[in-house]
């Protein structure tokens, strides 16, 4: 065990798949009851059932983080089932509007959609949950940003800008909630093979671009992902969803009670600072 979350209820958004599912798994291993919230309610239920079959405590919720009514309904249902929410991981995120991976250009719709999920989604869920945490004068929040938020990217400027906004919002939120004994941090992951990266690399593989032209000899998008990661990462390997889960578990635990407003990279050394 790396952090004791026994008896804590942890809500993770976008947890039906990918990184969110890995984070949920690690939090469950530390003793938390995990609340799997996802826009895809059926997938969230399947994921929660999988964890329950492994002996963990889990419930599922259908929640669209971009929609305040959906967030309100889902959180009320979670509180009804488990009593209160002690820990929040704002993980749900997108690269662009539906179909973004089938085009090279970034559209206005991509900008709006990315900000509505990656920035306003965090704000909506935090706004709904922080009130109860403030009343109890305890709680911890982790936002999943990205090292993209600390770098430029001519290929996906909307995504990088949204993650920079998530880092900035984390700091504002940490300042607002500090006097209520609530810490707020963000994790900046590097490269993890999830459905998201499957699409990113498929887009590059299918369309090519100046940035990745040196990888023209690769045979498929997964190989492209590994080449890009190896070349750009000092530790020369990708990260796993569990790696992000370990960092989240620590930041949500009492051991991290004096850490707030930080943006911690879990990226194999790609970005330092
Ligand atoms: N995969 C990586 O390498 C990587 C790197 C850095 C940061 N991140 C961030 O980690 C988070 C998870 O990424 P991932 O790779 O697992 O992505 P993913 O696309 O594989 O999974 C995202 C999950 O979020 C859910 N989701 C999407 N929109 C939602 C909404 N409006 N409301 C609720 N749920 C919604 C999806 O249904 C899905 O289950 C994102 O914020 C992403 O930006 C990922």
Question: What pLDDT shows up at residue 52?
Answer: 98
pLDDT category, 43, cuts 50, 70, 90? very high
Ligand 1 atom at minimum distance from 92 CA: 24
Predicted confidence (pLDDT) at residue 211 exceeds the cutoff of 60? no
Predicted confidence (pLDDT) at residue 57 exceeds the cutoff of 70? yes
Question: What pLDDT shows up at residue 244?
Answer: 98
pLDDT category, 36, cuts 50, 70, 90? very high
Judged by DSSP in three states, 29 sits in helix
- CB of 194 closer than 6 angstroms to any ligand 1 atom: yes
The yes-or-no answer on residue 159 being catalytic is yes
Q: Tell me what the pLDDT averaged over the chain comes to.
A: 95
Ligand 1 atom at minimum distance from 15 CA: 39
- The residue contributing the CA closest to ligand 1 atom 36 is 14
Contacts of 265 (CB under 8 A, 6+ apart): 147, 150, 188, 190, 271, 272
Structural domains of the chain, with CATH: 9-191+240-266 (3.40.50.720)
Question: What pLDDT shows up at residue 219?
Answer: 86
Work out the average pLDDT over 138-150: 98
CA 160 – ligand 1 centroid, Å: 14
Question: What pLDDT shows up at residue 206?
Answer: 82
- CB of 17 closer than 6 angstroms to any ligand 1 atom: yes
Residue 155: exposed, middle, or buried by beta-carbon count in 10 A (0-12, 13-18, 19+)? middle
Rounded Cα–Cα distance for residues 96 and 117 (Å): 9
Work out the average pLDDT over 256-263: 98
Q: What is the pLDDT of residues 166-183, one digit of tens each?
A: 999 999 999 999 999 999
Ligand 1 atom at minimum distance from 239 CA: 3
Rounded Cα–Cα distance for residues 39 and 36 (Å): 10
- CB of 158 closer than 6 angstroms to any ligand 1 atom: no
The residue whose two tokens read 């940490």 is 174
- CB of 162 closer than 6 angstroms to any ligand 1 atom: no
Work out the average pLDDT over 45-73: 98
pLDDT category, 153, cuts 50, 70, 90? very high
CA 121 – ligand 1 centroid, Å: 12
Question: What pLDDT shows up at residue 94?
Answer: 98
Q: Are 141 and 124 in contact (CB under 8 A)?
A: no
pTM as predicted: 0.97
Q: What is the pLDDT of residues 3-17, one digit of tens each?
A: 999 999 999 999 999
């Amino acid at each position: 065990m790396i952090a004791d979350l026994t008896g804590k209820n942890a809500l993770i958004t976008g947890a039906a798949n990918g990184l969110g599912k890995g984070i949920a798994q690690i939090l469950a291993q530390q003793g938390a009851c995990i609340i799997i919230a996802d826009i895809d309610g059926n997938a969230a239920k399947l994921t929660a059932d999988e964890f329950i079959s492994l002996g963990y405590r889990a419930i599922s919720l259908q929640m669209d983080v971009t929609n305040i009514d959906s967030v309100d309904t889902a959180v009320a249902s979670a509180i009804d089932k488990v009593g209160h929410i002690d820990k929040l991981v704002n993980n749900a995120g997108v690269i662009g509007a539906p179909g973004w991976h089938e085009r090279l250009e970034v559209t206005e719709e991509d900008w709006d959609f990315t900000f509505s999920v990656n920035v306003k989604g965090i704000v909506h869920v935090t706004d709904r949950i922080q009130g109860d945490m403030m009343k109890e004068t305890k709680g911890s929040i982790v936002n999943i940003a990205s090292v993209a938020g600390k770098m430029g990217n001519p290929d996906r400027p909307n995504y990088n800008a949204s993650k920079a906004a998530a880092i900035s919002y984390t700091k504002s939120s940490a300042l607002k909630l500090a006097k209520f004994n609530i810490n707020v941090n963000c994790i900046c992951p590097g490269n993890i093979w999830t459905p998201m990266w499957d699409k990113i690399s498929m887009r590059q593989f299918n369309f090519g671009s100046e940035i990745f032209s040196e990888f023209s000899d690769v045979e498929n998008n997964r190989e492209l992902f590994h080449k890009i990661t190896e070349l750009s990462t000092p530790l020369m390997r990708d990260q796993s969803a569990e790696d992000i889960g370990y960092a989240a578990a620590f930041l949500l635990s009492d051991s991290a009670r004096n850490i707030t407003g930080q943006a911690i990279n879990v990226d194999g050394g790609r970005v330092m600072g």
